[in-house]
Amino acid sequence: MPAPTYDIAILGSGPVGCVLALSLARHAPDPRRIALMGPAPATRQPGQSIDPRALALNHGSQHILQHLGAWPALAAEILTVHVSQAGHLGRTLIDQAELAAPRLGSVVAYDDLLDTLQAAVQTSGITRILEHPPRPLAGRPVTLALAEGPVHSRLALISDGARPKGLQRQYQQSAVLATIRASRPAVGRAFERFTRTGPLALLPHPAGPDLYSLVWCIHPQQAQKLAALPDAAFDQALQQAFGQRLGSLQRLGPANTFPLSLHVGPSLQGQGIVAVGNAAQTMHPVAGQGLNLGLRDAMQLAHTLQPWLTAPEQDAQPLLAQFARARRLDRGLTISITDTLPRLFATENPLIRHACGLGLLALDLIPALRKPLARHLLQGQRL
């Protein structure tokens, strides 16, 4: 049996892979035996954006990144979330003060977050391999095929974002992403508005107090047409869908579209192989839970493997199975919430739509109903 080149190989150098690598390196006797594999981020000029996404990170995720020394310099706080349904009475407010938290979360630019994480990796002692090998062969050790030949690792942790195989659902929606300027901004307030075509979110943008990040979920054909509209026509359509809460709305720059679907697979993927983040579950963006769930995956896995790092010759499979069991509740609840909400509110059944409005009203009036949901969105389910 070949001697392992690495104790841990992490396939995928996006935010979840970087957080996983940094968390493991803090407890590893020799961080060089942790390999983070994935291409280098594209070089960008100051002010240039490569990935248009702005990410809503909840309070728990912000704490993780700050603890790792990887919190971006620019961030916009979310203090309240206003949830409403177009065309129906009933709305609810989720407020940080009610949860005794300094904030519900913050919004950061994807590019800024990845740059900060990659910089932290460079000083951590982790081995960085600027290549993404094919999915590895399970075993003891795991075999990875690199361009210069195969290497072996005791474990392979998959965080490459490739859609997992298992449960699948097509939402018949795409997300339209754009940066919006509001004439009457509400500092610290995020909006989630459920329309008949899908949820529409406006999140405080880190680039300015009057700016918002738009995530507008709509039928794919409509999404393409919206993204191609001239600025004035786009602004008019957005104003009609969202209303006047923020005054007049103006798109800045182009809009981008992303298809939306659900893909859920097993965490354990063979001897010595485990998947986290989008490699384990790719979800609808409603409530902004995808990356937050992935970061909780990474931290739970790093915590579970911490004692193994000092004795890596031992079989880690029982610990990987323990990790998978520990993540079931949080994964299940988060996937259920993000899968149910967009389908429920987009129904054509008027009785269900009225019931959704009454549900929002009940959440607003009864803290005992609202707080458990709010706390889950704040930090997830923790054992």
Give me 50's structure tokens.
Answer: 């490569």
What's the CATH code of the domain at 287? 3.50.50.60
Please state, in angstroms and rounded to a whole number, the distance separating the CA atoms of residues 145 and 133: 6
Task: Starting at the earlier edge strand, list the strands of the sheet with 105-109.
Answer: 54-58, 105-109, 76-78
Rounded to a whole number, what is the distance in angstroms from the first to the last CA of the chain?
38
Asked if residue 279 lies in contact with residue 260, where contact means CB atoms within 8 angstroms, the answer is no
- What number is the average pLDDT over the span 302-325? 96
Q: Residue 45's pLDDT is what? A: 65
Residue 144 lies in a domain: yes
Please say if the pLDDT value at position 382 is more than 60.
no
Residue 353 lies in a domain: no
Domain count, the chain: 1
Please say if the pLDDT value at position 1 is more than 70.
no
Asked if residue 191 lies in contact with residue 242, where contact means CB atoms within 8 angstroms, the answer is yes
Spatial CB neighbours of 148, under 8 Å, sequence gap ≥ 6: none
For the stretch 125-135, pLDDT in tens is 999 999 999 99
- What number is the average pLDDT over the span 266-280? 95
Q: Write a three-state SS string for the chain.
A: CCCCCEEEEEECCCHHHHHHHHHHHCCCCCHHHEEEECCCCCCCCCCCCCCCCEEEEEHHHHHHHHHCCCCCCCCEEECEEEEEECCCCCEEEEECHHHCCCCCEEEEEHHHHHHHHHHHHHCCCCEEECCCCCCCECCCCEEEEECCEEEEEEEEEECCCCCCCCEEEEEEEEEEEEEEEECCCCCCEEEEEEECCEEEEEEECCCCCCEEEEEEEECHHHHHHHHHCCHHHHHHHHHHHHCCCCCCEEEEEEEEEEEEEEEECCCECCCCEEECHHHCEECCCHHHCHHHHHHHHHHHHHHHHCCHHHCCCCCCHHHHHHHHHHHHHHHHHHHHHHHHHHHHHCCCCHHHHHHHHHHHHHHHHCHHHHHHHHHHHHHCCCC
Q: Residue 359's pLDDT is what? A: 66
Q: Residue 354's pLDDT is what? A: 60
Residue 210 lies in a domain: no
Residue 121 lies in a domain: yes
Q: Residue 13's pLDDT is what? A: 96
Q: Residue 52's pLDDT is what? A: 85
Residue 94 lies in a domain: no
Q: Residue 87's pLDDT band (boundaries 50, 70, 90)?
A: confident
Residue 38 lies in a domain: yes
Please say if the pLDDT value at position 138 is more than 80.
yes
Nearest to 261 by CA among 283, 277, 246: 283
**Could you tell me the sign of the dihedral formed by the alpha carbons of 179, 182, 185, 191, in that order?**
negative
Asked if residue 193 lies in contact with residue 341, where contact means CB atoms within 8 angstroms, the answer is no
- Domain that includes residue 279, residue range: 6-51+110-166+263-345
Asked if residue 290 lies in contact with residue 159, where contact means CB atoms within 8 angstroms, the answer is no
Please state, in angstroms and rounded to a whole number, the distance separating the CA atoms of residues 377 and 293: 10
Q: Residue 161's pLDDT is what? A: 85
Residue 154 lies in a domain: yes
Please say if the pLDDT value at position 383 is more than 50.
no
What is the share, in percent, of the chain residues with pLDDT greater than 90? 74
For the stretch 20-46, pLDDT in tens is 999 999 999 999 999 999 998 777 766
What is the share, in percent, of the chain residues with pLDDT greater than 70? 92
Residue 333 lies in a domain: yes
Please state, in angstroms and rounded to a whole number, the distance separating the CA atoms of residues 194 and 83: 8
Q: Give strand pairing partners of 83.
A: 92, 192
Global pTM value? 0.92
